[in-house]
Each structure stands twice: as structure tokens, then as C-alpha cells.
Amino acid sequence: MAEIKLSNLKHSYFPAPKGPDDFALKEIDVTWRDGGAYALLGPSGCGKSTLLNIISGLLTPSEGRVLFGDQDVTELEPDKRNIAQVFQFPVIYDTMTVRQNLAFPLKNRGVDEATIARRVAEIAEMLDVTEMLDTRAAGLSPDNKQKISMGRGLVRDDVNVVMFDEPLTVIDPHLKWKLRSKLKELHQRIAVTMIYVTHDQTEALTFADEVVVMQDGVVVQIGTPVELFERPQHTFVGHFIGSPGMNILPCEARGDHASFAGHSVNLEGPVQGAGGSTELGIRPEYVSVADQGVPATVTKVSDVGRHFVIDAMVGETRLKVVSEHSAPEQGSAVHLAFRPDQTRVYRDGWIATEARS
């Protein structure tokens, strides 16, 4: 059990990559604390599975090192790394019983019978599969199969990290929730590092203590769910997390305020740097309909239960507003107010304002 450190990782599936576009991972530096519950979040094709396979050793990175504690494991085979991985589609050995499936990783490592029996019993109890230990694994339902493949990862007590590669994809919606809380519970019982890969923000935010957001082979932000929501470091994070996502509006930055559609908007703090293209970022939750502010036309109002989502047009720019209580009529002209401490400027995608503390 150790801290996992990825330093200067790059990976390309081409033998001779020509430019940055040939890299699936561009430049990754991440440290995973021992015993942490992490989520690796990003859209399909952002490189998260590649990253996972590099940690597990199924892939050797083109450049950079993988460290488990002080040991450099970059070139080490997966079975020598003491890791466990749960795949998108449940992997079980069809011809074996559940018991044999769970014992398989231990048997292959020459663990003695008594220890195997004890560990299998413990894990089966944790996963609530004790009563099906002696049935053939082939006939199980998908969620039970996925439990067994998790069990095969957890049965070894020396694992450095357990990785989940979108493990709930094939599970029925009502069981997803159950299995996810089971995972959370397991993490609390055996404090092993867990990395959970998903493209679903709800899964990521409910499972993880810390979320690593990736896009196009780059880690754009690492933070707690609250941090990701409150202060996205990149417009991608703002847009990807939250429902609806952050409003990203074209603007011009002028010191500690910005000019959006000809109106001056106050920011959380002064804007750093110069040049590039600047955008205003504000979550719909922090825009409100007010007596004065930026004039807008309401184009659509949707009642989503707990609140209203209002679509409005400011000139040619569309933005969304979340309103808790009341909503204006469709087609009406309103004014929108932006909460200053939640209004930021992004330069070329990255955050450019500094919060006043």
C-alpha cells in the first residue's frame, strides 16, 4: 500500500508520434494519496482509460514514470504490481463457481488454502454473495457478476489500488445506486486507494473524495466535488460539471470588471495576464432575474421540479438561469444580475481572475 505518483506521463498509440494530436495523454502529473477515493472524470476519448491502463501496467507509457511509493513500476507487469481492476463489462470465469472465481487471484499467487478460504469468506460476506458461493458464475445477473469481478480485485489484502473502469455501464439503473453505495461502504471498511473512471458526473461526485477531470489527454483540474463546482479552473470543467453547465460568454476584460454585450460586469477579482481570447464564466445558479442589469429576452422556461431553468438571449448570446421560485413569462424582457464573487474571466480556457480573500 503506497502513494501512487505519475510524473511527466505521455502516451501515444503511434510508434512515431508527429505532433501533440498524436498523443492520447499529453502531459500528466498526478499524485494519488494512499487510501483515497478518487474519480477520474471526462468525456469518452479523453484518455482516462489509457491513464488507467498505464497505472495497471496493461500499457507502458511512451514517456514518464509511474511510482508506487518509492518503487518505479513503469516497466513492471500488471500481476507484479499488486493492483486490481474492474472492467466496464463484468469479467468472470464462466466455467468456475463463484467461490473459485474469488479464489482465482490468490491461487495463482500460491496463497495457502486456509488463507484463501478465510479471505473468500470475508469478501463474500462484504459483497452479500455468501449464499451463491457454490453456484456457477455463468448464470448470475449482470450486477452480481460485476460484484464478483470487484470481489476478485478486493480479495487480495496487498493491493495498492483498485481501479474501476466505468463499472456500472451494464447495470440496471435501480441497481447502479445500490452498487455505488456498496462501493463507498467497501472503501470505508478497507481503506485502499480506489480510482473510479466514469464519464457520468453524478457517479464521480457521489463516489469520490477527490475528482480528477480530464479532457483531450490533459488533466484540467483536481479537486473535491465542491471545489469543482464552486471554482472551475477551466471552462471545460465549468461546462462539464453541473446541470445545466456553466454559462461561458464572450467578453472583454478590463481590470477588475468585464464588458459583456456592452454592459459592465463586476468580477470576483482582478484579471491576470493579457492577450488571448477572454470569456466570462458564471454558473446559472448565480445569475438572477433582477430589476436592473443586463437586458435579456426569455426564450424558454422549463420546470424541472425543484427549480426553473430559464433560457435567455442577450443580443446573440444564449445563457441559462436557474431560478428557485418564480419564473418570468416566455418572451418577456428582463434584466439579469450576475453575482460578482461567482463571476470569473477565463483566458484561452483557463481561469484568469484572482479571488479577493
Partner 1 sequence: MKTENQRAWFFVLPVLFLVAFNALVPMMTVVNYSVQETFGNNQFFWQGLDWFEQILRSDRFQAALGRQFLFTGIILAIEVPLGIIIALSMPRKGFWVPVCLVLMALPMLIPWNVVGAMWNIFALPKIGMLGYFMNDVLGVNYDMTQDPLAAWITIIVMDVWHWTSLVVLLCYAGLVSIPDAYYQAAKIDGASAWSVFRYIQLPKMKTVLTIAILLRFMDSFNIYTEPFVLTGGGPGNSTTLLSIDLVKIALGQFDLGPAAAMSLIYFAITLLVSWVFYVVMTKDDQ
Q: Which residue stretch of 32-40, 73-81, 192-200, 347-355 sits at the interface with partner 1 (rule: CB under 8 A)?
A: 73-81
What is the spatial distance between Cα 226 and Cα 210, in angstroms, rounded to a whole number? 9
Q: How many residues bind to partner 1 according to rule CB under 8 A?
A: 24
* Cell numbers representing residue 78 in the block: 500488471
Q: Which is nearer to partner 1, 84 or 204 (CB)?
A: 84
Q: Which residue stretch of 10-18, 94-102, 216-224, 267-275 sits at the interface with partner 1 (rule: CB under 8 A)?
A: 94-102
Q: Which residue stretch of 52-60, 183-191, 246-254, 288-296 sits at the interface with partner 1 (rule: CB under 8 A)?
A: 52-60
Give the C-alpha distances (Å, rounded to integers) separating 243 from 13, 229, 317, 321, 327: 34, 10, 19, 11, 18
b/e per residue 284-306 (b: at least 16 CB within 10 A): bbbbbbeeebbebebeebeeeee
End-to-end Cα separation, the chain, in angstroms: 38
Contact string 133-172 vs partner 1 (x = CB under 8 A): ----------------x--xx-------------------
One of 17, 35, 78, 295 touching partner 1 (CB under 8 A): 78
**At residue 213, what is the residue type?**
V
What is the spatial distance between Cα 38 and Cα 212, in angstroms, rounded to a whole number? 7
Q: Which is nearer to partner 1, 104 or 308 (CB)?
A: 104
Please identify which residue in the block is written with the cell numbers 479523453.
46
One of 44, 108, 188, 292 touching partner 1 (CB under 8 A): 108
Secondary structure (DSSP) of 90-148: ----TTSBHHHHHHHHHHHTT--HHHHHHHHHHHHHHHT-GGGTTSBGGGS-HHHHHHH
Residue 104 beta carbon to partner 1: minimum distance, rounded to whole angstroms: 6
Q: What is the dihedral of CA 46, 13, 11, 66, to 10 degrees?
A: 110
Residue 353 beta carbon to partner 1: minimum distance, rounded to whole angstroms: 44
One of 3, 17, 35, 58 touching partner 1 (CB under 8 A): 58
One of 21, 72, 75, 77 touching partner 1 (CB under 8 A): 77
One of 109, 254, 300, 356 touching partner 1 (CB under 8 A): 109
Residue 164 beta carbon to partner 1: minimum distance, rounded to whole angstroms: 12
Helix, strand or coil for residue 84?
strand
Residue 163 beta carbon to partner 1: minimum distance, rounded to whole angstroms: 9
DSSP β-bridge partners for residue 337: 288
* 202 scored as a contact of partner 1 (CB under 8 A): no
Closest CA to 167 of 196, 133, 124: 196
Q: Which is nearer to partner 1, 47 or 328 (CB)?
A: 47
* Cell numbers representing residue 255 in the block: 481590470
Residue 66 beta carbon to partner 1: minimum distance, rounded to whole angstroms: 15
Residue 290 beta carbon to partner 1: minimum distance, rounded to whole angstroms: 53
The residues of the shown chain that bind partner 1, judged by CB under 8 A, are: 53, 56, 58, 77-79, 83-85, 87-89, 91, 93-96, 104-105, 108-109, 149, 152-153
